[in-house]
Amino acid sequence: MAKRISVFNRKKINDDKILLDCLLNDESSFAVREAYLKLCTNIMYIPSEKKCKTIVVTSAIPGEGKDLLSANLALTLANYAGNNKVLLIDSDLRCSEISATLSDNEIYRGLSEYLAGDDEEVYVSKNSKYGSLEVVLSGAHSSNPAALLSSKRLPEAIRRFEEAYDYIIINVPPIEAVTDALLYSPIVDGYIISTKANYSNINRVSDAIDSIRDVNGKVLGVVLTSAKSNRSNCESCSYGNYKK
Amino acid sequence: MEEKNNEFSIRDLIGMILPKLWIVAIVSVLVSVAVGIYSSFFVKDTYSTTVQFYVHFGSSEANTIEIDKARQLVPVYISAYKSKSFGDDLLVEVNKSSYVKDNPSYKNLTASSLLSMLSFAQDDKVPIMYITVTSTDNNLALTVADALTSLSYDFKIGEDDSSVDETQPEKELSIHTLVPHKAEFQIYQRASLPEIPNEKNVEKSVVVSFFAAAVVTLACIVVYALLDVTIRDRRKLESGVDVPVLGVIPKHINAKNEEGKN
């Protein structure tokens, strides 16, 4: 049975308004959309033997923009970079901004219900506001997320999703904070690490990369967010007829 | 594995300095203003008086060779004046003066403090030595200069070769052994009581302090930037990790807001 999650009510007042404002849409600046398209292009050209690419988006420490990065990456892959079937899984069972932002109402079910055995299938939600993007919300269970993510049901679900989607983007908690992100290493193609300009620490990012490698995970690359717009960005804003 | 690029380029250096130039400017201006205020209002006035000595070999018709030799002796005299033994003699002489005796604040004068009041100069063409005495008290400056003048009467430099007794054990190196010929030392001009204080040269202090503060601040900025591990831009990220940078996302600004700003 779906439950009301009071923790999200508190967060909605503060944070997810910001996340919602920054989600990619037609009103987003040209420079930002182009930046996400470039990122998608780079991801598309990462060689993979499988039809579907399963990518975990994480960060070294909290506050480095991984929620926004994973949401916008999924939105771009789904709506702006071709007709890809994209699934965004919010696997941050502890402090999810994505679920709080993308859910239509505060009563919802998601990954944790499936992992806990409450649901037979993972509930996938789809909101027309976000085009063809499909989302698996984090769910209501918040006790012992690491144990839930260690469940055998998780690889089974991912395997089933890989047959149905072109890209699966999984948002997980920061690596230094909790171990959740590392539990995905055997079942995903790789990790993307979000870093934030003028905030992230290069040593911590290196440590996060090492942590992933220690569990035989593959780091596809890093993404720098909140970067200062340089001159070339401004020029590209008004390049020819491609502004809008 | 790709080797990390830890080289530090001039571009990086300029990139880290340019955004902080305002700090350099503010610190430099503040320091120079502080130095200017301190120099103008807190530094005591100083007074200087100069006594001049003329060095020669005693011949009535001095030729250019003798003048040149005498001129070369001036540095030797300067060395003698800077010596500690001369400082002790000067202290004794200064303590004899009535001005110092009557002024209790000068009871603790030392040889080194007196020597620190002296500055020396030499004329480029003639064998004249200038000794300038500088003090915050103009009377003390004159007293010290007069003591120098008094001591110069006893300042015999150089002796006849015949007077040197080679059978005697070796003596401590003195001015007598430094000067090969008998030279005379005359007062060329006595010191006078300085009544106008020295110019403080506030402008010079301000300019020097401005540039010194700028250099020190720049150095601090560079050191801070070198030790800083915060990711500022793509270059820093690329140089710090051995995985590709897949993308750089600028700060999120909605197009509406952007147009509004423009």
Non-local (6+) Cβ contacts of A89 within 8 A are A111, A135, A136, A161, A168, A169, A170, A171
Which residue of A192, A200, A226 is in closest CB contact with B246?
A192
Chain B residue closest to A229 (CA)? B250
Average pLDDT over residues B230-256: 82
Mean pLDDT on B41-47: 88
* Nearest-CA distance A232 → chain B (Å): 12
Encoded amino acid at A76, one letter: T
Mark yes or no for CB contact B243/A201 under 8 Å.
no
Structural element, H or E, at residue B129:
strand B128-135
Is A226 in CB contact (< 8 Å) with chain B? yes
Instruction: Report how far apart, in Å, the C-alpha atoms of B139 and of each of A132, A195, B191 are.
Output: 96, 71, 11
Scanning A146-185 for CB atoms below 8 A from B yields none
pLDDT band at B60 (very low <50, low <70, confident <90, very high): low
CA distances to A140, A142, A165 from A114, rounded to whole Å, are: 11, 13, 19
Q: Give the C-alpha separation, B241 to A62, whole Å.
A: 19
Q: For residue B19, what are the contacts with CB-CB under 8 A and spacing of at least 6? A: none
Residue A178 has pLDDT above 50, yes or no: yes
pLDDT band at B173 (very low <50, low <70, confident <90, very high): very low
What mean pLDDT value characterizes chain A? 81
Tell me: the pLDDT tens digits for A32-42? 889 999 999 99
Interface of B with A (CB under 8 A): 229-234, 236-237, 240-256, 258
pLDDT at B184 exceeding the cut of 80: no
Average pLDDT score over residue span B65-80: 83
Of B255 and A195, the structure prediction assigns the larger pLDDT to: A195
- pLDDT given for residue A106 in this prediction: 57
Kindly report the pTM of this predicted structure.
0.63
Q: DSSP assignment, residue B111? A: H
Give mean pLDDT, residues B27-35: 95
Q: Which two tokens stand for residue B101?
A: 């005796």
Taking contacts as CB-CB distances below 8 angstroms, the residues of chain A near B230 are 198-202
Suggest the residue from A207, A224, A229 to mutate for an interface test with chain B (most B CBs closer than 10 A). Answer: A224
- For residue B147, the model assigns a pLDDT of 92
User: What is the C-alpha to C-alpha distance for residues B253 and A22, in angstroms, rounded to an integer?
Assistant: 8
Residues 6+ apart with CB under 8 A from A19: A67, A68, A71, A97, A98, A101
Which of B243, B257, B259 to mutate against chain A (most A CBs within 10 Å)? B243
Lowest-pLDDT choice from B72-76, B107-111, B150-154, B226-230: B150-154
Mean pLDDT of B144-159: 73
Which H helix or E strand runs over A157? helix A153-164
Q: How confident is the model at residue B62 (pLDDT cuts 50, 70, 90)?
A: low
- Top-confidence residue, A236 or B183: B183
Chain B neighbors of A220, CB-CB under 8 A: 243-244, 246
